[in-house]
Amino acid sequence: MSANEIIQTKLLNCTLDEIGQYQERVTRIHHDLPQQDFTGWLDLPLREQDELVTSLENIAQEVKACADVLVVIGIGGSFLGAHAVQEALTPYFGKAANGIEVIYAGQHMSGAYVKQLLAYLDSKQVYVNVISKSGGTMEPALAFRTLRLYMEERYGNKATERIIVTTDGEKGILKGLADQAGYRQFVIPDDVGGRFSVLTPVGLLPIAVAGVDIRTLLAGAKDAAIAFSEADLASNVAYRYAVLRHMLYEKGYTMEILASFEPSLSKLGAWWQQLFGESEGKDHKGLYPATVNFSTDLHSIGQFIQEGSRVMFETVVHFNELTDDLAVPFDARDEDGLNYVSNRTFNEVNAICEEGTILAHAEGEVPVIQLALPTLDTYHLGYLLYFFMKACGMSASLLEVNPFNQPGVEAYKKKMQALLKEDK
C-alpha cells in the first residue's frame, strides 16, 4: 500500500461531484499556506530531528526510572495531543504497562481536582512537565505554582531535576522562571502554534513517557507529510476531506460530528475538536465540531443525529484492524438468547454496529464521510494526526479565516483578569 492510499475516504448519502471545481483554489492555497506565520508544522516531520528525539527519549527513560507519575501541566494545544495519543495507544486499564502513569493538570481550575491530585501524589514518586508556549496562561500557571511549591517541599533542591519545562525558546514568564531556577527545558518552535504542536516536544515528551514509540509516531507523520505534499485533489486525501467538509458547509450544514467506535479514540476527538474549532470558528463562520463515541453515544445523542434538526454531517474514523479483541463466549444455557453472536468477536459485533449505524444515519439524511485506516497503531496514528492538521490548514483557508490565530480566546481571559483585579 502506498502512503497515498493509507487513508481511504468514502462519502455516503450525498454526491459532491463539484469537488473538481475547487482545484484551482486548493492549488493557490497550497502554495500560499507555507508563506503564512505559524506553518512550521507543515514540514516538521520531514526535518532531521534525531538529536531532539534522542534527548526526549533519554529524559523519558529517566522519568520512567525515577518516578511513578508524570504530571503534565498544560491546556488546549499544550496537552490535548499528548492526551489523545496516550489514550489511543496505551491499555485501558493499568496505563503504566509500558511507561509510567501520565496525568494532567492545569487544563482547568477545579480546586477539588488539584487538592485531590496533591493527595494522590503523596504516595508516589513524581516528575512534572509544565507546557506553555506563551508561558502566562492562567490555568497551567496556577497549577504549576502549586505543583512547584509541592515539589520543592517534597524534594528540596532535588526538585529542580524533577521539573521539566516546555516553552518558548526566548520569551515569556515561564521561560524566565525556568532559566532562573535551572530547570531543563524543551523549546516549542516559534513557527508552530499550540494546536499544531503535538509532534513537537509538547506532545512527544509525555507520549514517550507513556510508553509510546515516538520515532514510529513521527515516521507515520513523515509519510503523511510526503503523501499530502501535492495540491492535486485526486491524490491528496487530506485536501479532499477539507473540500468535502467545506462543500457541505456551503450547502448549509453547520455542524460536523467526528465519530469513532473505539472508546480509546475519544480523546483524539477532543484534540480534533480543538484543532478545527479554534482554527475555523472566526468571523461568525465555521462548522461546529462535535465528537461522539459509539456505540455509547448512540444511546444519547444518537437519537438527535438520527431524527433531530438536519444540520449535521458525520465523519467516521475507522481502523480496519484493532490490536486486541475477545470472542463472545458461548453459554450452553443461552438464557440471554445471545448464542447467535457467539461465533463472533466483540470487535466484529462492533464493526457490524458501525456498518448499521452509518446506513441508518445516511438514511436519516445525514451525509457521512468515512475515513478508513489499516491498523490502530502508533504509525497510523502519527499519519492521522498529520492528515487532520493538513486538512485543517486547507479547510480554514477555504473559509477565508486565519487558521493559526485565536483572537476569541482572549475575550474570556480579559474579563476574568478584570474581575480578579476588581475583587482585590
Contacts of ligand PA5 in 321-340 (CB under 6 A)? none
Q: Please name which of 168, 321, 313 lies closest in space to residue 255, comparing C-alpha atoms.
A: 313
Under the criterion CB under 6 A, does residue 137 sit at the interface with ligand PA5? yes
Give the binding range for ligand PA5 (CB under 6 A) out of 6-14, 54-62, 128-136, 372-380. 128-136
Question: How far apart are CB 296 and ligand PA5 at their closest, in Å?
Answer: 26
Candidates 39, 49, 78, 357; binder of ligand PA5 (CB under 6 A) is 78
Give the binding range for ligand PA5 (CB under 6 A) out of 5-13, 69-77, 326-334, 342-350. 69-77
Q: What b/e readout covers 170-196, taking b as 16+ CB neighbours within 10 angstroms?
A: eebebbebbeeeebbbbbbbeebbbbb
Candidates 45, 194, 269, 367; binder of ligand PA5 (CB under 6 A) is 194
Contacts of ligand PA5 in 376-415 (CB under 6 A)? 406, 409
Candidates 45, 76, 99, 393; binder of ligand PA5 (CB under 6 A) is 76
Cα–Cα distance list, 227 to 3, 26, 268, 283 (Å) = 6, 16, 21, 32
* Complete DSSP assignment for 128-154: EEEEESSS--HHHHHHHHHHHHHHHHH
Q: Residue with the closest Cβ to ligand PA5?
A: 194
Kindly name the residue from 278, 280, 314, 354 that is annotated as catalytic: 278
Question: How far apart are CB 35 and ligand PA5 at their closest, in Å?
Answer: 20
How many other C-beta atoms lie within 10 A of the C-beta of residue 9?
A: 14
Under the criterion CB under 6 A, does residue 293 sit at the interface with ligand PA5? no
Under the criterion CB under 6 A, does residue 189 sit at the interface with ligand PA5? no
d(CA 31, CA 35): 8
How many other C-beta atoms lie within 10 A of the C-beta of residue 414?
A: 9
Could you confirm whether 413 is annotated as catalytic? yes
Under the criterion CB under 6 A, does residue 140 sit at the interface with ligand PA5? yes
Q: Please name which of 74, 76, 83, 80 lies closest in space to residue 412, comparing C-alpha atoms.
A: 76
Under the criterion CB under 6 A, does residue 260 sit at the interface with ligand PA5? no
Helix/strand/coil percent split, the chain, to 5: 55, 15, 30
Under the criterion CB under 6 A, does residue 134 sit at the interface with ligand PA5? yes
How many residues lie near ligand PA5 (CB under 6 A)? Answer: 15
How many other C-beta atoms lie within 10 A of the C-beta of residue 385?
A: 27
Binding mask 80-109 for ligand PA5 (x = CB under 6 A): ------------------------------
Under the criterion CB under 6 A, does residue 200 sit at the interface with ligand PA5? no
Cα–Cα distance list, 61 to 55, 58, 65, 205 (Å) = 10, 5, 6, 10
Residue type, 209: V
What are the φ/ψ torsions at residue 390 (nearest 5 degrees)? -65, -40
Could you confirm whether 278 is annotated as catalytic? yes
Under the criterion CB under 6 A, does residue 77 sit at the interface with ligand PA5? yes
| Residue written as grid cell 506532545 | 203
Under the criterion CB under 6 A, does residue 203 sit at the interface with ligand PA5? no
Q: Name residues whose C-beta falls within 8 Å of residue 217's C-beta, 6 or more positions apart in sequence.
A: 85, 199, 204, 207, 378, 379, 381, 382, 385
- Residue number, 3 or 173, with CB nearest to ligand PA5: 173
The C-alpha cell at 232 is 492535486
- Residue number, 22 or 144, with CB nearest to ligand PA5: 144
Question: How far apart are CB 391 and ligand PA5 at their closest, in Å?
Answer: 16
Candidates 107, 132, 293, 397; binder of ligand PA5 (CB under 6 A) is 132
Alpha helices (runs of H) in 193-253, residue ranges in sequence order: 201-209, 214-227, 237-250
- Residue number, 74 or 302, with CB nearest to ligand PA5: 74
Under the criterion CB under 6 A, does residue 75 sit at the interface with ligand PA5? yes
d(CA 131, CA 327): 42
Candidates 30, 83, 133, 267; binder of ligand PA5 (CB under 6 A) is 133
The C-alpha cell at 259 is 465519530
Under the criterion CB under 6 A, does residue 289 sit at the interface with ligand PA5? no
Residues of this chain that interact with ligand PA5 (CB under 6 A) are 75-78, 132-134, 137, 140, 193-195, 278, 406, 409
Catalytic residues: 278, 413
